[in-house]
Amino acid sequence: MSSNADIYHEMIVDYSRNPINYGEIENHDVTFHDSNPLCGDSIDIDMKIDDNKVTDIKFHGKGCAICMACSSVLTEITKGKSLDEARAIEKNDVLSELGLEHLQAVRIKCALLSLKVLKSALYTYIGKNLKDTGDVDKLKEEAANLY
């Protein structure tokens, strides 16, 4: 386990004060909200989707520095990706970007809340618009079992 001194490096502190892609999208094609029942972190993600591509993505909510930094990084990674690429994003794509691979169990939930919301938003969109339900169930399960 990395020590906390390592975890709270400059990038995380900066993102927590100045998150990127923070806000709402008025004419979003899909939106999803979820929260962490244990700590109260709470995240919404809005997306614009055109031609099976995430053309815009924003998040808002309340959370700790870890949650804010990860949400910033995740939305940045997702923007511009195809739906297939977006649903293929994994934990470590987010965590490694911030050097958080060895985060302790309780905090993992802070780090991955936005990824859970993203996956949920994706299956909501796909289920509604693409009617490819078998896969949606898999995605749903993935979201449910993220941590």
Partner 1 sequence: MQSTETLFENIRNDFPILKRTVRDNKPLVYLDNASTTQKPNQVIDSITDYYQNHNANIHRAVYALAEEATEAYEATRDKIANFVNIKDRQEIIFVRGTTEAINLVAYAWGRTHIKEGDIVVTTEYEHHSNIVPWQLVTQEKHAKLEYIGMDDNGELILDDLDKYLATGKVKLVTFSLMSNVLGTITDAQKIIEKCKAAGVLTLIDGAQAVPHMKVDLEKLGCDFFAFSGHKMLGPTGIGVLWVRKSVLETMSPFHGGGDMIREVHKYETTWNDLPYKFEAGTPNIADVVGLGAAIDYLTKIGMDNVREHEIELTKYAIEKLSQVKGLHIYGTKDLSKRGGVISFNFADVHPHDVAQIIDEEGIAVRSGHHCAQVLMERLNVAATSRASFYIYNTKQDIDILVNSLNIVAKVFKL
Q: Which residues contact partner 1 by CB under 8 A?
A: 3-5, 7-8, 13, 16-17, 35, 37-42, 62-67, 104-107, 110, 144
In the complex, the smallest distance separating the C-beta of residue 31 from partner 1, rounded to whole angstroms, is: 17
Tell me how far, at minimum, the Cβ of 94 lies from partner 1, in Å: 17
The least distance separating partner 1 from the CB of residue 76, rounded to whole angstroms, comes to: 21
Strand order in the sheet with 42-50: 30-35, 42-50, 53-62
One DSSP character per residue, 101-123 reads: TT--HHHHHHHHHHHHHHHHHHH
Structure tokens at 21: 């892609």
Q: Give min distance, CB of 110 to partner 1, in A.
A: 6
Q: How far is the CA of 86 from the CAs of 30, 50, 53, 64, 119, in angstroms?
A: 14, 13, 9, 24, 8
Identity of the residue numbered 58: K
Are 76 and 20 contacting, i.e. CB atoms less than 8 angstroms apart? yes
**Are the CB atoms for 83 and 52 separated by under 8 Å?**
yes
Pick between residue 42 and residue 52 the one whose CB is nearest to partner 1. Answer: 42
In angstroms, what is the minimal distance from the CB of 50 to partner 1?
A: 32
Report the residue number, 17 or 131, with the smaller CB distance to partner 1.
Answer: 17
- Residue with smaller CB distance to partner 1, 23 or 40: 40
Which CB sits closer to partner 1, 54 or 103?
Answer: 103
Closer to partner 1 by Cβ: residue 113 or 122: 113
